[in-house]
C-alpha cells in the first residue's frame, strides 16, 4: 500500500490536526469537525489514525553497529529530581567531538527523536536528546497520553532543565566543548529560546518553532539556521517581528521557508512528512553544524 502524504488529506483536516496536536482543540472536537471531510468509507477516527505517527521503521536502527547509544541521567537544577536523556556517539569516535542537544516535540522523547539523535551520530556528532517528561514518568509510549502529560509540565522548570542539558554537553568529558542545538516544533521554540539565555551556544537550528519575544533577541549571539514550512501559518505569523529584531540586532541567521510543506515536514513518521523539504533541510542542518561546531 502506498504511503499516505499530506496530499491525501483535505487542507482543512490538516489544519484541524495541527490545532489538535498543539492543544487548541481536544480529540472530541477534532473528531466532530473532521467528520464532514471523511469520504469513501473513511471516518473521522480513521483520519486521525492515518495522521498520527507510526514508529514501525527507523532510518538508523537502535542496534546499528556504527553507533553507541545509552540512556543517561543527570541532576535537575530545580527540584524535579533526576533527568534522563538518550546519548548517542559514533562507535568509532576518536578524540573529543562536537555535541548537539536534540529537543523533541510536545510529546517527549519518542522513537522518532531518538532516531534523529542516531542520525546525528552518523554525521560525527555526539547527540543528546533529553526527555522533558521524565519527571512525570517519561514518554508513555502513546502520543495522545504524551501530549496530555506535556501540558502538566511547569515550563519554567522544563526550560531550565534544557539549559542544564546544555551545561551537561558543554562539560562532557568526551565532548570538544562546542555545543549546538536542533529542535522540532516545541523543540524548535527551545532552540530559539536557548540563545537568549545561555552563553557559549555555538549553533542553533530551530525547525518550525515559536519565536522568542522581540525584546529578548538582542541577547542572541549564536548563529541561527531557521527552517519553516510554507503552509505553517501559525508559526509564520511570528516571523516578521522576529526577522525585524534579528536584523536590527545584526544577528547571524539564515531563514529558509519550504514551499508547500506542512508544519512537521521533517517528521518521517507522519503523512505531513515532505521528503524533498526534509532532505534539503537536513543537509543544510548538518552543513551548518559542521561549519560552526567543527571549525
The predicted structure's pLDDT at residue 134: 93
Instruction: Compute the average pLDDT of residues 138-145.
Output: 92
Which CB contacts under 8 angstroms, 24+ apart, belong to 58-65?
58/111, 58/115, 58/118, 59/115, 59/118, 59/119, 59/268, 60/115, 60/118, 60/119, 60/121, 60/122, 61/118, 62/114, 62/118, 64/118, 64/122, 65/91
Is pLDDT at 161 greater than 60 in this prediction? yes
Yes or no: say if 160 and 184 are a contact pair by the CB < 8 Å rule.
no
pLDDT (tens digit per residue) in 38-71: 766 678 888 888 888 878 778 899 999 999 999 9
Please report which confidence band the pLDDT of residue 79 belongs to, taking 50, 70 and 90 as the band edges: low
User: In the structure grid, which three cell numbers stand for residue 60, read together?
Assistant: 538508523
* % of the chain at pLDDT higher than 90: 72
Is pLDDT at 1 greater than 70 in this prediction? no
Side-by-side strand order, sheet with 203-207: 67-75, 82-90, 126-130, 97-103, 175-184, 203-207, 224-229, 253-258
Q: What domains are there in the chain, each with its CATH number?
A: 6-51 (no CATH), 67-293 (3.40.50.1820)
Is pLDDT at 124 greater than 90 in this prediction? yes
Yes or no: say if 197 and 225 are a contact pair by the CB < 8 Å rule.
no
The predicted structure's pLDDT at residue 216: 97
Task: Specify the pTM.
Answer: 0.93
Strands annotated E in 189-223 = 203-207
Q: For the ranges 113-122, 137-146, 239-248, which has the lowest average pLDDT?
A: 137-146
* % of the chain at pLDDT higher than 70: 97
The predicted structure's pLDDT at residue 42: 76
Please report which confidence band the pLDDT of residue 239 belongs to, taking 50, 70 and 90 as the band edges: very high
**217, burial (CB in 10 Å: exposed 0-12, middle 13-18, buried 19+):** buried
Yes or no: say if 264 and 272 are a contact pair by the CB < 8 Å rule.
yes
Please report which confidence band the pLDDT of residue 78 belongs to, taking 50, 70 and 90 as the band edges: low
Please report which confidence band the pLDDT of residue 25 belongs to, taking 50, 70 and 90 as the band edges: confident
The predicted structure's pLDDT at residue 188: 98
Is pLDDT at 73 greater than 70 in this prediction? yes
* Residue-averaged pLDDT of the chain: 92
Instruction: Compute the average pLDDT of residues 2-30.
Output: 85
Neighbour count for residue 139 (Cβ, 10 Å): 24
Strands annotated E in 136-281 = 175-184, 203-207, 224-229, 253-258
Is pLDDT at 2 greater than 70 in this prediction? no
Please indicate whether residue 224 or residue 38 has the higher confidence score (pLDDT).
Answer: 224
pLDDT (tens digit per residue) in 93-104: 889 999 999 999
pLDDT (tens digit per residue) in 164-210: 999 999 999 999 999 999 999 999 999 999 999 999 999 999 999 99
How far is it, in rounded angstroms, from Cα 22 to Cα 27? 11
Yes or no: say if 254 and 227 are a contact pair by the CB < 8 Å rule.
no
How far is it, in rounded angstroms, from Cα 120 to Cα 287? 12
Amino acid at each position: 500500500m502506498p504511503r499516505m502524504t499530506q496530499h491525501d488529506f483535505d487542507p482543512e483536516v490538516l489544519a484541524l490536526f495541527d490545532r489538535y496536536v498543539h492543544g487548541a482543540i481536544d480529540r472530541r472536537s477534532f473528531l466532530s469537525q473532521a467528520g464532514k471531510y471523511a469520504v469513501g468509507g473513511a471516518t473521522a477516527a480513521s483520519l486521525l489514525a492515518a495522521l498520527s505517527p507510526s514508529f514501525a521503521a527507523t532510518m538508523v536502527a537502535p542496534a546499528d553497529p556504527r553507533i553507541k547509544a545509552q540512556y543517561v541521567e543527570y541532576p535537575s537544577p530545580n527540584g524535579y529530581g533526576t533527568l534522563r536523556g538518550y546519548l548517542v556517539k559514533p562507535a568509532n569516535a576518536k578524540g573529543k567531538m562536537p555535541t548537539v542537544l536534540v529537543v523533541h516535540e510536545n510529546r517527549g522523547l519518542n522513537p522518532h527523536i531518538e532516531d534523529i539523535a542516531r542520525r546525528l551520530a552518523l554525521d560525527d556528532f555526539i547527540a543528546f536528546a533529553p526527555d522533558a517528561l521524565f519527571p512525570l514518568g517519561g514518554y508513555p509510549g502513546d502520543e495522545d497520553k504524551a501530549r496530555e502529560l506535556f501540558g502538566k509540565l511547569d515550563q519554567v522548570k522544563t526550560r531550565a532543565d534544557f539549559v542544564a542539558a546544555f551545561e551537561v554537553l558543554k562539560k562532557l568529558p568526551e565532548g570538544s566543548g562546542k555545543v549546538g542545538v536542533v529542535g522540532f516544533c516545541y523543540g524548535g521554540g527551545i532552540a530559539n529560546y536557548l540563545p537568549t539565555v545561555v552563553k557559549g551556544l555555538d549553533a542553533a537550528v530551530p525547525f518550525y518553532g515559536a519565536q522568542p519575544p522581540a525584546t529578548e533577541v538582542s541577547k542572541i549571539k549564536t548563529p541561527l539556521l531557521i527552517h519553516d514550512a510554507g503552509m505553517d501559518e501559525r508559526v509564520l505569523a511570528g516571523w516578521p517581528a522576529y526577522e525585524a529584531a534579528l536584523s536590527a540586532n545584526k544577528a547571524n541567521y539564515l531563514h529558509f521557508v519550504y514551499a508547500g510543506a506542512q508544519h512537521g515536514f521533517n517528521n518521517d513518521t507522519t503523512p505531513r512528512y515532505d521528503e524533498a523539504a526534509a532532505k534539503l533541510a537536513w543537509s543544510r542542518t548538518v552543513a551548518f553544524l559542521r561549519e560552526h561546531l567543527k571549525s
